[in-house]
Structure 1
Amino acid sequence: MKRYLFLCAIAAFMVFSCSTDKEDEAISEDSIVGTWKFQELNIDNADSPDEIRLANDVIEVLVASGCEILVFDFKSDNTVTASAKDFTETGRDINAEGTGLLIECPSDVETSSSVWELDGDQLTFVDENGLEETITIKLDGDTLTIPAEIVDEDNLDGAEAIFIRE
């Protein structure tokens, strides 16, 4: 009987000591290196769905026309360059046919650089003034999902911005 209990204890120990390897699930810094272009919004959990739907409609037209609203270029030396166009500056006028809004790709590009660090799913940006901003990301192959407030903090609260790696 003692031998049976001993074998059961060993078996239980083996079962409970085995675990999944969390490192396999962690996002490595190398996996985010590359150029990421903003593609779409996920507005399912957005705080103000009506306002965000309008912004999403404008974004869909711009992206479909080839407009690069926001591009992140993550380098292996932990620097990142962001090139952004203010999509809120378009869609304010009626098109020539009078059938809808005039939505044109903004021509002004704002470029900024910072340093980045990735710890698990926490991506931290540090700007030239030393200010830090940390966001939670999801990375699935060549698809990066981040809070959409990064794209436009005033209009996209609660939505997710989806980027595709070039």
Structure 2
Amino acid sequence: MKKIILMLFVTAIGVLSCSEDKEDDSNFDSNSLIGVWTFSNIDADGATGNIKLSNDILTVLVNGGCDILTYDFKADQTVNVSFRDFTETGNSVNSSGTGLLIECPINVRNSTSVWELEGNQLSFINGNGAIETITINIDGDTLTVPGEVINEDNLAGTKAIFVRE
């Protein structure tokens, strides 16, 4: 189980390193993105297996107050990314026999990038110094990005949901 969590978040250091270039008629003003966005859940629409298990674990952690991943988009077109380092996660068997006890990681990592929003296309400089573009959706205080942004290998086809603080 720790390996699944590790796989989900080991790519978080390059959290903005995937690209998805679907065109859409959505048009968002850059001001609609400014603010602090906190990871809420994965929308996996009927997913099973590892994606469902991973989402269940993330849900427990988020509901317990663990800020797994946060984006702070600023008006000067910089973004600060803060994420938990799951390589140092402790886990053990719950003594009451209800399963594994997964703890919120103590270590937090931070990175900074620049961004630009044109319509629903969010472009940024990834951890490798390359320009990446993804399709996003903003609905009030809910931001949806491709799950691949969090983990390209394990969350393909899902959507990561963030809420504005």
**2: distance between equivalents of 1:149 and 1:109?**
21
Query: SS where residue 52 of structure 1 aligns?
Result: helix
TM-score by length of 1: 0.77
CA contact (8 A) 1:38 1:71 kept: yes
User: What is the aligned partner in structure 1 of residue 142 from structure 2?
Assistant: 143
Distance verdict in 2 for CA 1:55–1:86, change over 3 Å: farther
CA contact (8 A) 1:33 1:75 kept: yes
Query: Which deviates the most, 124-133 or 103-112?
Result: 124-133
Per the TM alignment, residue 119 of structure 1 is displaced from its structure 2 partner at its CA by 0.8
CA contact (8 A) 2:123 2:131 kept: yes
**1: distance between equivalents of 2:58 and 2:86?**
7
CA contact (8 A) 1:144 1:163 kept: yes
Which segments of structure 1 move beyond 6 Å, counting only runs of 4 or more? Answer: none
Query: SS where residue 59 of structure 1 aligns?
Result: helix
Total equivalences in the alignment: 141
**1: distance between equivalents of 2:87 and 2:58?**
9
Give the structure with higher Rg (CA).
1
* Percent identity between the two aligned chains: 54
CA contact (8 A) 2:144 2:160 kept: yes
User: What is the aligned partner in structure 2 of residue 52 from structure 1?
Assistant: 51
Structure 1 stretches of 5 or more lacking a match? 1-24
User: What is the aligned partner in structure 1 of residue 77 from structure 2?
Assistant: 78
Query: SS where residue 158 of structure 1 aligns?
Result: coil
User: What is the aligned partner in structure 2 of residue 64 from structure 1?
Assistant: 63
Structure 2 stretches of 5 or more lacking a match? 1-25
RCO higher in structure (CA 8 A, sep ≥6): 2
User: What is the aligned partner in structure 2 of residue 132 from structure 1?
Assistant: 131
> As a proportion of its length, which structure holds more helix?
1
CA contact (8 A) 1:59 1:87 kept: no
Distance verdict in 2 for CA 1:45–1:145, change over 3 Å: farther
**2: distance between equivalents of 1:145 and 1:50?**
22
Per the TM alignment, residue 92 of structure 1 is displaced from its structure 2 partner at its CA by 5.1
CA RMSD of aligned residues (A): 2.2
User: What is the aligned partner in structure 1 of residue 28 from structure 2?
Assistant: 27
CA contact (8 A) 2:115 2:123 kept: yes
